[in-house]
């Protein structure tokens, strides 16, 4: 080990050892600073009001008769009727939140959705500042987990107050599942920023997430106008916190995407994600060592597909996949992936088949006619793609576990022939 990296490791350990607990007053002050209403910061009523608001956000909707009664008499929030001065003391840390209140809140705490949304849909600048502040305190937090981590911290504080303590440490909030998910997402993108290619892990030592951030692919807090533009490309997932909606970026790109998400970057991230999904599907298939065998079987089977010899002559269409599938970025990503991995192999196999009982041109014409049939049914490109893959399986009487192989064949015809024409091309 040279002295440089020794020094780095030492400073890393020193940093780890110097982790100090975060006081509730610091945590509250951070949320108040970035999420509170600046108009209310002048008098001493603003903090208590914001404090009660945060508590409102974490209380579940009434589920028992007792809770119903409390709700009716306005006592659901135990701090609602308390003197502002007292609450101010909780906020600045000169008085701990009473054990009894903490216990009571924990017994009626919600799943955190409202609280998490409040954070995730706040202004980009506020989220960036909260993330940075928490990272300074050694919390493992990413932009996409920000709301969740804050909610967990809130819960952790209540648990501490219940036991007459007032501070939490990063371990109290960390979950193994989060770390595993982060690692998985990192390896999915081969440890490189999908937008600029920069390496996401610096110097190999840090377990901290200093070099990257994980963002939601469908951006949070778009205005209505932006939202409809983004939705046109691909609609928002039902659960924005699902892994499918998360992707790691370098800090720089993450900050840019947070503050100014462009349609172009959105498209690229969707493509990348789709690419990853296909790669995994194929890896799964390869684990069974069967995909290539299946592919060969599907190709051999095409030999027996009775050609549809209409007078149509097949045109080999040299447009790129991007030109032919110009609106559906997920499908574009999938087809590009299949083509990049299998085009040449398939081409070789077809040319080996060429002979008195097989003509590639005839097959291409048959596939093209099937394509036109589905197109006439007004299906969109993804539906046509899926129908063609199923069509091949039906013609060959193969079961569904050949569908990945069949989709790869369809991608070959998209690349090679007139399956999907370029719109407006003359």
Query: Which residues of the chain form contacts with Zn ion (CB under 5 A)?
Result: 193, 195-196, 198, 250, 253
Nearer to Zn ion, 154 or 193 (CB): 193
Nearer to Zn ion, 41 or 262 (CB): 262
Nearest Cα to Cα of residue 144 among 248, 34, 58, 223: 248
Minimum distance from residue 253 beta carbon to Zn ion (Å): 3
Instruction: Give the shortest CB-134-to-Zn ion separation in angstroms.
Output: 21
Coil, helix or strand for 385?
helix
Give min distance, CB of 231 to Zn ion, in A: 25
Q: From residue 69, give the alpha-carbon distance in Å to each of 75, 116, 267.
A: 8, 27, 50
Closer CB to Zn ion, 129 or 252, in the complex: 252
Beta strands at 212-216 and 246-250: parallel, antiparallel or unpaired: antiparallel
In the chain, % helix, strand, coil (3-state, to 5) comes to 60, 5, 35
Phi/psi at 212 (5° precision):
-150, 175
Comparing CB distances to Zn ion, the nearer of 102 and 195 is 195
Q: Which two tokens stand for residue 208?
A: 């901290």
Nearer to Zn ion, 60 or 268 (CB): 268
Which C-beta is closer to Zn ion: that of 112 or that of 248?
248
Start-to-end CA span in the chain (Å)? 64
Least distance in Å: CB of 190 to Zn ion?
A: 13
In whole angstroms, the minimum distance from the beta carbon of 219 to Zn ion comes to 16
Length of the chain: 426
From CA 282, how far away is CA 262, in angstroms rounded? 30
CB of 275 to Zn ion, least distance (A): 17
Compute the distance between CA of residue 300 and CA of residue 302 in angstroms, rounded to an integer. Answer: 5
- Minimum distance from residue 198 beta carbon to Zn ion (Å): 5
Q: Which is nearer to Zn ion, 52 or 253 (CB)?
A: 253
Minimum distance from CB of 178 to Zn ion (Å)?
Answer: 22
Rounded to a whole number of angstroms, the minimum distance from the CB of residue 63 to Zn ion is 45
Q: Residues near 159 by Cβ (< 8 Å), separated by ≥ 6?
A: 102, 106, 172
Helix (H) or strand (E) holding 30: helix 24-35
**Closest separation between CB of residue 258 and Zn ion, Å?**
12
CB of 272 to Zn ion, least distance (A): 12
The smaller minimum CB distance to Zn ion, of residues 257 and 385, is found at: 257
Per DSSP, the three-state class of 250 is strand
- Report the run of H or E that residue 7 belongs to, with start and end: helix 3-17
Residue that the structure tokens 């939601």 belong to: 216
Output 135 or 324, the one with its CB closest to Zn ion: 135
Residue 213 near residue 254 (C-beta atoms within 8 A): yes
Nearest Cα residue to 147 out of 35, 37, 38, 234? 35
Query: Are 34 and 126 within 8 A, CB to CB?
Result: yes
Looking at the Cβ atoms of 57 and 269, the one nearer to Zn ion is: 269
240 Cα distance to chain centroid: 7
CB of 36 or CB of 219, closer to Zn ion: 219
From residue 370, how far is each of 268, 310, 313, 388, 403 by CA, in Å? 31, 12, 14, 7, 17
Phi-psi region of 233 (alpha: psi -120 to 50; beta: other; left: phi over 0): alpha
């Amino acid at each position: 080990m040279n002295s440089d990296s020794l020094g780095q490791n030492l400073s890393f350990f020193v940093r780890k050892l110097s982790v100090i607990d975060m006081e509730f007053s610091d945590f509250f002050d951070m949320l108040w600073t970035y999420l509170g209403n600046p108009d209310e910061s002048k008098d001493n009523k603003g903090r208590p009001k914001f404090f009660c608001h945060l508590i409102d956000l974490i209380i579940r909707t009434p589920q028992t008769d007792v809770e119903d009664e409390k709700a009716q008499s306005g006592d659901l929030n135990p701090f609602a009727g308390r003197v502002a001065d007292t609450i101010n003391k909780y906020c600045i840390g000169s008085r701990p939140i009473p054990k009894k209140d903490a216990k009571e809140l924990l017994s009626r705490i919600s799943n955190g959705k409202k609280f998490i949304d409040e954070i995730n849909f706040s202004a980009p600048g506020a989220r960036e500042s909260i993330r940075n502040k928490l990272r300074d305190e050694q919390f493992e937090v990413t932009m996409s987990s920000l709301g969740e981590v804050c909610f967990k911290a809130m819960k952790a504080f209540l648990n501490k107050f219940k036991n007459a303590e007032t501070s939490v440490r990063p371990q109290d909030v960390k979950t193994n599942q989060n770390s595993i998910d982060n690692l998985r997402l990192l390896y999915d993108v081969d440890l490189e920023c999908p937008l600029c290619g920069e390496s996401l892990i610096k110097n190999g030592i840090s377990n901290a997430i200093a070099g990257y951030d994980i963002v939601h692919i469908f951006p949070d807090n778009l205005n209505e106008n932006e939202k409809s533009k983004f939705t046109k490309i691909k609609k928002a997932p039902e659960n924005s916190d699902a892994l499918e909606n998360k992707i790691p970026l370098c800090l720089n790109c993450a900050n840019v995407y947070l503050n100014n998400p462009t349609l172009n970057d959105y498209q690229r991230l969707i493509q990348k994600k789709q690419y990853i999904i296909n790669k995994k599907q194929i890896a799964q298939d390869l684990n069974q060592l069967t995909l290539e065998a299946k592919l060969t079987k599907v190709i051999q089977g095409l030999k027996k597909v009775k050609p549809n010899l209409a007078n149509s002559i097949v045109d080999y269409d040299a447009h790129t996949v991007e030109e032919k599938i110009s609106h559906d970025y997920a499908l574009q990503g999938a087809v590009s992936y299949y083509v990049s991995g299998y085009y040449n192999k398939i081409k070789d196999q077809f040319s080996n088949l060429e002979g008195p009982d097989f003509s590639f041109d005839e097959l291409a014409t048959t596939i093209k006619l099937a394509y036109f049939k589905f197109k006439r049914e007004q299906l969109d490109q993804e539906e046509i793609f899926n129908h063609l893959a199923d069509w091949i399986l039906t013609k060959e009487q193969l079961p569904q576990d050949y569908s990945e192989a069949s989709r790869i064949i369809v991608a070959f015809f998209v690349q090679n022939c007139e399956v999907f024409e370029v719109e407006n091309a003359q």
